[in-house]
Amino acid sequence: MQDSSSTNRGTNLDPWYGAYAARTAGLSASEVRALFAVASRPEVVSLAGGMPFVAALPEDLIRSAFDTVMRTQGPMALQYGSGQGVPALREHILEVMAEEGIRAGVDDVVTTTGSQQAIDLVAKLFLDPGDVVLAEAPSYVGAIGVFRSYQARTVHVAMDSDGLIPQALRETIAAERAAGSTIKFLYTVPNFHNPAGVTMSAARRPEILEIARSNGILVVEDNPYGLLWFDKAPPPPLRTLEDDGVIYLGSFSKTLAPGFRVGWVLAPHAIREKLVLAAESAILSPSSFNQLVVNEYLNTADWRAQIDVFRGVYRERKETMLSALSEHLPELTWTNPNGGFYVWVTLPPELDSKQMLPRAVTELVAYTPGTAFYADGGGRSEMRLSFCYPTPENIRMGIRRLATVVGGELDLLRTFSGTGTLRVNRPDRRVVSPPPDLG
């Protein structure tokens, strides 16, 4: 693994060492990023990444959308477009959001280069150095990185199996204000949380909004997974309960394909105007080509049925992962997500998931250490397992390998601490050869 400390500062070998902006010190290689290199070896079962299983998308649907776009709108697809995005696509985005109960006007939607760009643009608009962003503990690694890149501080708020805890939010706001902090917004992933896998309960949603409203704190609701539920739909988005105080982020990366890099943001009008200016400054306009292909897909394909296909794929994989965890790692605890991509695993407190990772890679399994999802050093004995990309067979194999790793680490620790050994199933990892399609 690359040592991130070597890349987040200039060194004396860099003649421009002294020229970087102060914010550049906050740009560091995330643990997830370093893992991408490791996990891309084909023999490793990666439970680390967040790649959707795009093989479940019939390529004919994309070909057909492309053919129609080039036949009917070729010059528009090849040209610069508006900074706010293609109007027809934004109309379709309203339909997609309506699936979750959101009602909005097409003028309040901005299409972005993935919803990651939406996070970046919102951060650029609001965050001065030293400002505070509130986020669940843990939170999405890519958002924490953006906030850090604008020299803001992410302060975590405790969550449980019903999501963000209202009383913890109140107390954190009070403590930060008492310390003189300027809190700019609450960043939350209410549905099938990345990485925690939990969903904010219906009862808590209005309460969280009321706390934010009464404290004058904007809410940034990031909802890339909301439509990918397994047994029942999650409660309606926060944005259905409140228009003026919520910036809502959506994405086609999980319900269609991330290779198009098409996401969106729905924002109160005055904020939306500034988001468009920030987007134009950053990239002039999002890709017309991609927006029109996605738009045509939404025009002609049965995209709701395709989302059902994805639900089935991910539901089976989640169930496989949980049953493998029960079988091979019963001494650990984990969340049971009703949608999305991720399970959050809590290890015995004496284990350090980051220190354990090299051993895991040796055993040909990868995961994301919990510390990646905390801005404050938390998460040492936690890890994120993703079930989105590997096949069920490989998920089972990956969990068996993980059991070998955890068992070995515990053996080692208990041997040295003199508390005896704890037996964990240690299946032979060579029984099944991994197929070559694993990332």
Q: Of residues 21-50, which lie at the interface with a second copy (CB under 8 A)?
A: 21-24, 27-30, 33, 36, 50
CA distance 395 to 281: 43
Tell whether residue 150 is a contact of a second copy (CB under 8 A).
Answer: yes
CA distance 35 to 249: 26
Residues 257-316 that bind a second copy (CB under 8 A): 257-261, 268, 270-271, 273-274, 277-278, 280-290, 293
Helix 114-126 and helix 269-283: axis angle, to 10°? 110
Q: How far is the CB of 273 from a second copy (least distance, A)?
A: 5
Tell whether residue 59 is a contact of a second copy (CB under 8 A).
Answer: yes
Q: Are strands 246-251 and 218-222 parallel, antiparallel or unpaired?
A: parallel
Q: How far is the CB of 24 from a second copy (least distance, A)?
A: 5
Query: 10 Å Cβ neighbour count for 308?
Result: 12
Q: Which stretch binds a second copy (CB under 8 A): 118-126, 168-176, 306-314, 321-329?
A: 118-126
Site string for a second copy, 391-430 (x = CB under 8 A): ----------------------------------------
Q: Which stretch binds a second copy (CB under 8 A): 138-146, 155-163, 203-211, 353-361?
A: 138-146
CA distance 150 to 278: 14
Q: Which stretch binds a second copy (CB under 8 A): 67-75, 299-307, 339-347, 410-418?
A: 67-75
The percent helix, strand, coil of the chain (3-state, each to 5) is 45, 15, 40
- Please work out the total of residues on this chain that contact a second copy, with binding judged by CB under 8 A: 90
For a second copy, the binding residue among 38, 70, 88, 168 (CB under 8 A) is 70
The closest alpha carbon to 372, from 40, 163, 142, 135, belongs to 142
Judge if the upstream peptide bond of residue 138 is cis by omega within 30 degrees of 0. yes
Torsion sign (Cα): 47, 52, 57, 59: negative
For a second copy, the binding residue among 38, 94, 106, 125 (CB under 8 A) is 125
Q: How far is the CB of 54 from a second copy (least distance, A)?
A: 4
Q: Which stretch binds a second copy (CB under 8 A): 56-64, 93-101, 334-342, 380-388?
A: 56-64
Q: Determine the length of the chain.
A: 439
The closest alpha carbon to 224, from 133, 307, 309, belongs to 307
Q: Which stretch binds a second copy (CB under 8 A): 81-89, 96-104, 168-176, 305-313?
A: 81-89
Measured at the alpha carbon of residue 186, what is the angle toward residues 181 and 189, in degrees to the nearest 5? Answer: 150
For a second copy, the binding residue among 1, 41, 42, 74 (CB under 8 A) is 74
Q: Which stretch binds a second copy (CB under 8 A): 199-207, 255-263, 305-313, 405-413?
A: 255-263
Cβ distance to a second copy smaller for residue 176 or 273 = 273
| Helix residue ranges per DSSP H, 99-140 | 114-126
Helices (H) and strands (E) in the chain, counts: 12, 14
Cβ distance to a second copy smaller for residue 132 or 322 = 132
